[in-house]
Chain A
């Protein structure tokens, strides 16, 4: 019968030779391989002390951007929350009052803006969706924590210039 594929290979079922049957030469060569690996340079990166460098486009923790005058750019349109596949973003909008023009760029702003970093998959769709250039992903990432609540980042942790705990890996050239 004609072969259905060209990748067919007939296996030869031949008996093992005596040298193969006593295992010992094969075992010795195998142990040579493991011994070579024993003295090889290790692949491990000892994390907190050493860190793997990340590229500049690495998608890490989010940041809420400000404009040149230091006003919040976010207008709470909700497009980032809609774009988010993990549904990690929640927000509440509020109207800018007279006298707050130095705080918010437009008439509407986010009174509450939270990202659950445990839900977030760091895909960067929010960054793509934002029409106001308000949300960006930095190259930092969140340190471990004992409490799940501490992974819900509130607006004061997300705003540009906010103080938050984060791990800053070195950047690749």
Chain B
């Protein structure tokens, strides 16, 4: 029998993580516009509230107030299902990320992770792959050629890049010996970050994360110049908002996963001394802040790249994926295996 007292911490954590994810996604849209503006020597939105900080709220209200158009010849059920799947799948990935070390409150210890699954990485992979169905279904149900083209590109791109991402992850698992995200983080105590052991793997993972999140330079599914809006050409109002939102949530989660897998998650050099000094309540919160800072840096990195590099052509994308990244991933895998055997 499960009592409320046992479930309550998990529920609170779920609500907090959900709210945090939404907030970060909301402000990523604002940050994106600001970063774009700053890189282009502009100042960006600065009218709504001090420095423009209420701009995302204004955008959200606008999305809700817009007229909702569902094309007559579309499949209505699938048309609505598409964005729902996209946003649900992107919200589900945050569950297995260890947001901080165990926190002690009122004499009890709580983990700052919603669930610690043994196969955490596989779970993330599976859910991210479900997310692409949202795009495929939405693009197909729109009954629009541009949407369909965008959806086809999206699915082929994600399938191609999932392979090399998997190879990067396998090499990482060979080093860590576990699939659980929590254990992977615990192993990177202090400064023993996995980036030191897997630099090539990290670059592979990074490139693939860009492709998985449909971000520039791999944002072919929604390239405006060729496909109008790609898979969300026919979408309006909050359904469009959900698609765009899902992209930002994906960006946030993949940033968090990258910091967790390769940059030590909530670990930082000198953490033991700090933890001894501040105690078991503040210490984990500092750990969380460190992870959050790393995540924010990666989100900034995503945006920075977006406003620097032009889009790949479709054949270039496939060439890079199949002829560049996969052989590199296999080489990395062999080298890692040899190193693991040698140093064991």
B57 interface hit (Cβ, 8 Å): no
**In the complex, A63→B30 CA distance in Å?**
44
| CB contact between B304 and one of A24, A35, A42, A46 (< 8 Å): that residue | A35
Most buried by B among A24, A27, A35, A42: A42
Most buried by A among B35, B39, B40: B39
**In the complex, A37→B304 CA distance in Å?**
11
**In the complex, A24→B43 CA distance in Å?**
29
Most buried by A among B35, B38, B43, B308: B308
In the complex, number of A-B residue pairs with CB atoms less than 8 Å apart: 37
Question: A22 contacts which chain B residues (CB < 8 A)?
Answer: 324
Question: A41 contacts which chain B residues (CB < 8 A)?
Answer: 41
Question: A35 contacts which chain B residues (CB < 8 A)?
Answer: 304
- Report the interface size class on chain A: 10 to 19
A42 near B308 with CB under 8 A, answer no
B39 near A37 with CB under 8 A, answer yes
B282-317 at interface with A (beta carbon < 8 Å) = 304-305, 307-309
B344 interface hit (Cβ, 8 Å): no
B42 near A42 with CB under 8 A, answer yes
A34 interface hit (Cβ, 8 Å): yes
**In the complex, A34→B305 CA distance in Å?**
9
B189-207 at interface with A (beta carbon < 8 Å) = 203
Question: B324 contacts which chain A residues (CB < 8 A)?
Answer: 22
Question: A46 contacts which chain B residues (CB < 8 A)?
Answer: 43, 46
A70 interface hit (Cβ, 8 Å): no
Annotate A9-43 by CB proximity to B: 1 below 8 A, 0 otherwise: 00000000000001010010011011101101111
A147 interface hit (Cβ, 8 Å): no
Question: B41 contacts which chain A residues (CB < 8 A)?
Answer: 37, 40-44
Question: A38 contacts which chain B residues (CB < 8 A)?
Answer: 35, 38-39, 304
A27 near B308 with CB under 8 A, answer yes
**In the complex, A59→B106 CA distance in Å?**
73
Please report the total number of B residues contacting A with Cβ < 8 Å. Answer: 15
A34 near B42 with CB under 8 A, answer no
CB proximity of B297 to chain A, nearest CB, Å? 13
B308 near A30 with CB under 8 A, answer yes
**In the complex, A31→B300 CA distance in Å?**
12
CB proximity of B19 to chain A, nearest CB, Å? 30
**In the complex, A24→B203 CA distance in Å?**
10
**In the complex, A66→B40 CA distance in Å?**
48
CB proximity of A31 to chain B, nearest CB, Å? 5
**In the complex, A42→B42 CA distance in Å?**
5
CB proximity of B30 to chain A, nearest CB, Å? 16
| CB contact between B39 and one of A24, A27, A34, A43 (< 8 Å): that residue | A34
CB proximity of B319 to chain A, nearest CB, Å? 10
A31 near B40 with CB under 8 A, answer no
Most buried by B among A30, A35, A38, A40: A38
B39 near A44 with CB under 8 A, answer no
Annotate A52-65 by CB proximity to B: 1 below 8 A, 0 otherwise: 00000000000000
Question: A24 contacts which chain B residues (CB < 8 A)?
Answer: 203
B42 near A37 with CB under 8 A, answer no
B304 near A31 with CB under 8 A, answer yes
B8-59 at interface with A (beta carbon < 8 Å) = 35, 38-43, 46
Q: Residue on B with the closest CB to A31?
A: B308
A42 near B43 with CB under 8 A, answer yes
Q: Residue on B with the closest CB to A42?
A: B43
Question: B304 contacts which chain A residues (CB < 8 A)?
Answer: 31, 34-35, 38
CB proximity of B10 to chain A, nearest CB, Å? 41
**In the complex, A34→B216 CA distance in Å?**
15
**In the complex, A40→B43 CA distance in Å?**
11
Q: Residue on A with the closest CB to B316?
A: A23
Question: A37 contacts which chain B residues (CB < 8 A)?
Answer: 38-41
Annotate B262-284 by CB proximity to A: 1 below 8 A, 0 otherwise: 00000000000000000000000
B305 near A31 with CB under 8 A, answer yes
Interface residues in chain B, defined as those with a beta carbon under 8 Å from any beta carbon in chain A: 35, 38-43, 46, 203, 304-305, 307-309, 324
Given contacts A22-B324, A38-B39, 13 further A-B contacts (CB under 8 A): A30-B308, A31-B305, A34-B39, A34-B304, A35-B304, A37-B38, A37-B39, A42-B43, A44-B41, A44-B42, A44-B43, A46-B43, A46-B46
Can you spell out 15 A-B residue pairs with CB atoms less than 8 angstroms apart? A22-B324, A24-B203, A27-B309, A31-B304, A34-B307, A34-B308, A37-B41, A38-B35, A38-B304, A41-B41, A42-B38, A42-B42, A43-B42, A44-B42, A44-B43
